[in-house]
Amino acid sequence: MAQLPPFASVLKSNDVEDLVNRYVHRTLAYLFVRSIFKTRITPNMITLSTVVVGFVAGSAFIWGTPTAMFVGGACLWAAAILDGADGILARAKDLQSEFGRALDGSADVLVAVFTVFPAFYHIWVTHHNPYHLALMVPALGLTVMHLAVYDFYKESYLRGTRPGQGGEGRDADDIDETVRSAKEKGPIVQMAVKYILVPHLQRQKAVLNWLNPDAWRLSQVLQSDDQTAEIYRKNNVWPMRLWALVSLAPHSYLMAMCAMLDRLDVYLYIRVFLMNGIFLVAILWQRHATCKTIEELAGVGAIKVSGTERSFTT
C-alpha cells in the first residue's frame, strides 16, 4: 500500500488559511489521517463522522449545563479538525471528486444547523435578552455570505498561484457540466450537487458580481503560469490572509472556545461586530488588490482589457 505523503504536500496553501487552522487543525488532522491511512476508512466516511460529532455538540448545547457546554465545545472543535482530515485523506489517496466536495459542503451545512440553532437557543434561555435575538439574524445571514466569498477567493487564489495545479473545485460558470457529470454518478451524487453545491456556486457568483465584478471576470479567463502566479500572489496574498479570518475554521474554533466557557453570547458579539469589521476591510483591500493585479497582468500581456465594463480576454 502507498505511503502517506509528507505533511506539506497534502495541504492546499498556507496563504489561504489562518494561523490556528494551519498549525493546529491541519497538524492534528494529518496525525489522525496517518493513524487511519492504511485502513479502509474513506474521506466520505470522515465527512459523515463530522456530522455525527456536530450533532453531539448541538445536543450538548441544548442540555446546557456547564459540563455539557464544555463537552459540546470540544465536540465542535473536533468536528472542525475532522473537516480538514477528509480533504487531507482525499488528496493523499487521490480521491477528490465533485461528489466529495458536495458532500463536504452538505456536512458543513448540517453541522451548522445542528450547532448554531442550539447555540441560539442556549443564549436565549440563559440570558432572555431581546438584543441577542436581534443579533442572531445578521449573525446567521452574514456568516453565509462570509463563507461564500472566502471560498471564491480561496479557489481563485489557488488557481492563480499554482500553475498546472489550480484549485479544488468548479466555479459557477461550470454549473452545466457539474450537473451533467453528477447525473452519471447516481441519484445521491445528483441530489448533493443539485441542492448543495450548485446553489452555493450560484450564490457565490451573485455576491461577487455585486462586491467585486472585476475579480469574478478575471477568475474566468486567467491562465496561470510562473509569471502571472508571481503577480497574482504579490498583490493578493495579504487580502487572502484576511479573508481566511472569516472562513469556516475561525467560526468553528471561536464558537467552540466560547461554548466551553459557557459564553456563547460573547461569540455572538464577535460574529456580528468583529468578523463583519474584518469582512468590510477585506472587501476594500481586495478591490484595490484586484485592480493592481489586472493592471500588472495587462502590462505583461497576460490579459487584454476592453470596454467600459472591463471585459477580459487572454
pLDDT tens sequence across 123-168:
999 999 999 999 999 999 999 899 989 999 999 999 999 987 765 5
Q: Which residues contact 88 (CB under 8 A, 6 or more apart)?
A: 10, 11, 26, 29, 30, 33
* Residue 31 binned pLDDT confidence (cut-offs 50, 70, 90): very high
pLDDT tens sequence across 41-70:
999 999 999 999 999 999 999 999 999 999
Q: What is the DSSP string of 39-106?
A: SS--HHHHHHHHHHHHHHHHHHHHH--HHHHHHHHHHHHHHHHHHHHHHHHHHHTT---HHHHHHHHH
- At residue 176, what is the residue type? D
Which DSSP letter does residue 219 get?
H
**Which grid coordinates belong to 19?**
494561523
Average the pLDDT over 204-221 and give the result: 88
Number of C-alpha atoms within 13 angstroms, CB side, residue 206? 7
Fold for the domain defined by 7-313: Four Helix Bundle (Hemerythrin (Met), subunit A) (1.20.120)
Query: What ranges do the domains of the chain cover?
Result: 7-313
What pLDDT score does 101 carry?
72
pLDDT tens sequence across 251-297:
999 999 999 999 999 999 999 999 999 999 999 999 999 999 999 99
**Which grid coordinates belong to 112?**
451548522
Q: What is the DSSP string of 107-144?
A: HHHHHHHHHHHHHHHHHHHHH--HHHHHHHHHHHHHHH
* Residue 175 binned pLDDT confidence (cut-offs 50, 70, 90): low
Mean pLDDT of the chain: 88
Least Cα distance to 154 among 4, 18, 9, 305 occurs for: 18
**pTM across the whole model:** 0.87
